[in-house]
Amino acid sequence: DVVDIRTFSKTGMFTYDPGFLATASCESAITFIDGDQGQLYYRGYPIEQLAEHSDYLETCYLLIFGELPTAEQKADFVKTVTRHTMVHDQMTRFFQGFRRDAHPMAMMVGVTGALSAFYQDSLDINNPRHREVTMYRLISKIPTIAAMCYRYSKGLPFNYPKNDLSYAANFLQMMFATPCEDYKPNPVLVRALDRIFTLHADHEQNASTSTVRLAGSSGANPFACIAAGIACLWGPSHGGANEAVLKMLDEIGSVDNVPAFMEGVKNKTHKLMGFGHRVYKNMDPRAAIMKKTCDDVLKELGLENDPKFKLAMALEKIALEDPYFIERKLYPNVDFYSGIVLTALNIPVSMFTVIFALARTVGWISHWNEMISDPGMKIGRPRQLYTGSPRRDYVPVEKRK
Ligand code: ACO
């Protein structure tokens, strides 16, 4: 009897959930999103409180270890992260293989994956000490690599990390310092960047985190898994959205062109980038914090009348009152304002998603570690509904029509 193989996967208990709209892939104790209320918690702490009172490295500690550190634990953590900021000298030559005009995210994927070739002494995923060292290495070295991507694309010499600076200040120093100047980053801008890092640090099972988990579930090494996460983040529906928002604001040009642009959105010619979210069906809490940060930064720089900020605010106002957006519960997400802040910090658009990857590395590695530490971990293996040809017999090439 010939069985129609297409019916095979439809037997037994089987769920079909394209895009995983309603399927949990794991248990996790790291981050909770209440999408209906527009709330986000890291290890139980509301994001608003962390953005206001904590800093990025303390948040990293919280995400990895589950508790806020004591003063002593925090000092130790910062010291260890700081100690690992250098990358192997041979990595500088690795960069020279890339074209200067390569997208920085392309370099990030390659260089981060290559870390597993440079740091082979921490690749035993079953050894908790190796896992911890790898986590430190990633959090410490990703800003160095990110800044190297930028400097390489500009044809500038790499800047060494400066370990007396904070995490965010050091990143700005590695990006922008020139050899003949005593670079002193503006504290308001440093705080804004640190906040961007905190807001992007984790977001439970989004596409890139799920990618890291899936890659890690086969036992692949953590540097390779993070490279997979970076690759996934690159897309415009995910981490590439902040870059897409800036391009969109440039295309719209001025507030006068907003109505015509909105007509195109409703006719589905294009999307309003920086709007909408799979989980938030209310305001993304990070967007409100980012808007305030944007305001602070523009004031500090005397750019209160920045036309892009004005245009973004006009778009937000119109969208929040428009039935198309109200019916579909489309609200601004974190990336709607982050691009304006990053531009004010002099960070080029091509580096926006890199900054996101830098900040999200701690979330990815925390999830990877949570998964690997689980004795019941299984390789991730989604099923499918087969829609191809039924069974048929091979036809030799001379008999094919
Ligand atoms: N602009 C206009 N319409 C939109 C938008 C948008 N940004 N987002 C969703 N819609 C519409 C869809 O066309 C659809 O309309 P329909 O019901 O008439 O078909 C409806 O809203 C539901 O949208 P889905 O695409 O089904 O929602 P989904 O949960 O799959 O997508 C996503 C979420 C990918 C974030 C989407 O809203 C989007 O593409 N937004 C723009 C890109 C963006 O800002 N991404 C950043 C996400 S946050 C982050 O990664 C940090």
Is there a contact between 137 and 115 (Cβ–Cβ < 8 Å)? yes
Give the model's confidence band at 14: pLDDT under 50 very low, under 70 low, under 90 confident, else very high.
Answer: confident
The helix (H) or strand (E) run that includes residue 33 is strand 31-34
316 DSSP β-pair partners? none
| Position 9 pLDDT exceeds 70 | no
Q: Please state the atom number of ligand 1 nearest to the C-alpha of residue 277.
A: 35
Query: pLDDT (tens digit, 9 = 90+) per residue, 164-203?
Result: 999 999 999 999 999 888 888 999 999 999 999 999 999 9
Check if 277 is active-site: yes
Q: Is the pLDDT of residue 22 over 70?
A: yes
Centroid of ligand 1 to alpha carbon of 250 (angstroms): 20
Determine the Cα–Cα distance for residues 41 and 365; give it in Å rounded to an integer. Answer: 18
Confidence of residue 6 (pLDDT cuts 50, 70, 90): low
Number of Cβ within a 10 Å radius of residue 164: 7
List the catalytic residue out of 103, 200, 203, 277. 277
pLDDT at 304: 84
Residue 8: predicted pLDDT: 58
- Indicate whether this model's pTM tops 0.80: yes
If one compares 79 and 314, the residue with the highest pLDDT of the two is: 79
pLDDT at 1: 55
Cα distance between residue 157 and residue 136, in whole Å: 25
Residue-wise pLDDT for 135-174, tens only, equals 999 999 999 999 999 999 999 999 999 999 999 999 999 9
Supply the residue whose CA is at minimum distance from atom 39 of ligand 1: 237
pLDDT level of residue 7 (50, 70, 90 thresholds): low
**pLDDT given for residue 313 in this prediction:** 85
Q: Which whole-number Å values give the CA distances from 340 to 103, 245, 307, 369, in the listed order?
A: 20, 9, 10, 33
The predicted pLDDT at position 12 comes to: 62
Q: Above 90 in pLDDT, residue 220?
A: yes
Identify whether 202 is a catalytic site residue.
Answer: no
What six digits make up the tokens of 132? Answer: 């911890």
- Stated as kind and residue range, the H or E segment containing 317 is helix 307-321
* pLDDT category of residue 15 using cuts at 50, 70 and 90: confident
134 or 335, greater pLDDT: 134
Q: How far apart are CA 362 and CA 201, in angstroms?
A: 6
Q: Which atom of ligand 1 sits closest to the CA of residue 334?
A: 51
Asked if the model's pLDDT at residue 385 lies above 60, the reply is yes
Question: Residue 10: is its pLDDT beyond 60?
Answer: no
- Distance, in Å, from the CA atom of 253 to the CA atom of 390, rounded to the nearest integer, reads 53
